Amino acid sequence: MCGIAGSVALPHARPIAAAELGRMTAELVHRGPDEDGFFLDGPAALGFRRLSIIDLGGGSQPMFSEDGEVALVCNGEIFNHRELRAELEAKGHRFRTDCDVEVVVHLYEEEGPELLNRLNGQFAFALYDRRERQLFLARDHAGIAPLFYTRTNDHFVFGSEIKAILRHPGVPRAVDLTGLDQVLTFPGLVSPRTMFRGVSSLPGGHYLLVRDGEVREKRYWDLDFPVEESQSQPDEYYVETLRELLTTSVRRRLQADVGVGFYLSGGLDSSLIGALVGEQVRDPHSFSITFPEADIDESGHQRLMAGKIGSIHHEAPFSDDDIATELRRMVVHAETPVKETYNTCSMVLSALAREHGVKVILTGEGADELFGGYVGYRFDGRRGTGRTGDPLEDALEDNLRQKLWGDAELFYERQYHAWRQTKMDIFSEELQASFAEFDCLAGPVVDPAMLAGRPRLSQRSYLDFKLRMSDHLLSDHGDRMALANSIEARYPFLDRDVVEFARTVPAHLKVHRLGEKFVVKQAAQGLVPPEIIGREKYGFRAPGSPGLLRRNLEWVQDLLSHDRIRRQGFFDPHVVDHLKARYLRDGFDVHPHFDDDLLLVVLTFGILLDEFELSG
What is the CATH classification number for the domain harbouring 496? 3.40.50.620
Are 64 and 170 members of one domain?
Answer: yes
Q: Which CATH number characterizes residue 156's domain?
A: 3.60.20.10
State whether the Cα torsion 231-232-235-239 is positive or negative.
Answer: negative
Is there a contact between 318 and 348 (Cβ–Cβ < 8 Å)?
yes
The count of structural domains within the chain is 4
Q: Is residue 159 part of a domain?
A: yes
The answer to whether 99 is a known catalytic residue is: no
Q: Is residue 422 part of a domain?
A: yes
Of the candidates 447, 475, 405, the one whose C-alpha atom is nearest the C-alpha of residue 139 is 475
Q: Is residue 16 part of a domain?
A: yes
Of the candidates 170, 179, 120, the one whose C-alpha atom is nearest the C-alpha of residue 150 is 170
Q: Is residue 592 part of a domain?
A: yes
Domain end point (choices 476, 498, 533): 533
Are 358 and 487 members of one domain?
Answer: yes
Helical ranges in 356-448 per DSSP H: 367-371, 375-383, 391-405, 416-426, 429-433
Domain end point (choices 475, 501, 533): 533
Q: Is residue 66 part of a domain?
A: yes
Q: Is residue 538 part of a domain?
A: no
586 is in an annotated binding site: no
Are 62 and 181 members of one domain?
Answer: yes
Are 151 and 215 members of one domain?
Answer: yes
Q: Is residue 327 part of a domain?
A: yes
Distance CA 200, CA 214 (A): 16
Pairing mode, strands 35-41 and 44-50: antiparallel
Distance CA 132, CA 211 (A): 8
Of the candidates 595, 507, 510, the one whose C-alpha atom is nearest the C-alpha of residue 546 is 595
Domain end point (choices 416, 435, 454): 454
289 is in an annotated binding site: yes
Distance CA 61, CA 444 (A): 39
Are 16 and 32 members of one domain?
Answer: yes
Are 239 and 302 members of one domain?
Answer: yes
pLDDT at 528: 97
pLDDT at 180: 98
Distance CA 2, CA 488 (A): 8
Distance CA 240, CA 231 (A): 15
Q: Is residue 558 part of a domain?
A: yes
Are 506 and 579 members of one domain?
Answer: no
pLDDT at 269: 97
pLDDT at 84: 97
Is there a contact between 528 and 268 (Cβ–Cβ < 8 Å)?
yes
Are 442 and 469 members of one domain?
Answer: no
Annotated catalytic residue, options 2, 74, 99, 345: 2
User: What digits encode the pLDDT tens for the residues 522-536?
Assistant: 999 999 999 999 887
pLDDT at 170: 87
Are 171 and 277 members of one domain?
Answer: no
Are 261 and 134 members of one domain?
Answer: no
10 Å CB burial of residue 577 (0-12, 13-18, 19+) is: middle
Burial 254-271 (b: 16+ CB within 10 A, else e): bbbeeebbbbbbbbbbbb
User: What digits encode the pLDDT tens for the residues 241-266?
Assistant: 999 999 999 999 999 999 999 999 99
Distance CA 364, CA 263 (A): 8
Q: Per 3-state DSSP, what percentage of the chain is helix, strand, and coil (rounded to 5)?
A: 45, 15, 40
pLDDT at 543: 73
Range of the domain at 481: 235-373+461-533
Are 317 and 250 members of one domain?
Answer: yes
pLDDT at 188: 95
pLDDT at 597: 92
Helix 177-185 vs helix 416-426: angle between axes, to the nearest 10 degrees?
A: 120
Q: Which residues of the chain have pLDDT under 50?
A: none
Are 194 and 250 members of one domain?
Answer: no
pLDDT at 386: 67
Is there a contact between 328 and 607 (Cβ–Cβ < 8 Å)?
yes
Q: Cis peptide leading into 529, omega within 30 of 0?
A: no
Of the candidates 440, 453, 454, the one whose C-alpha atom is nearest the C-alpha of residue 403 is 440
Q: What are phi and psi of 247, to 5 degrees?
A: -60, -45
pLDDT at 460: 96
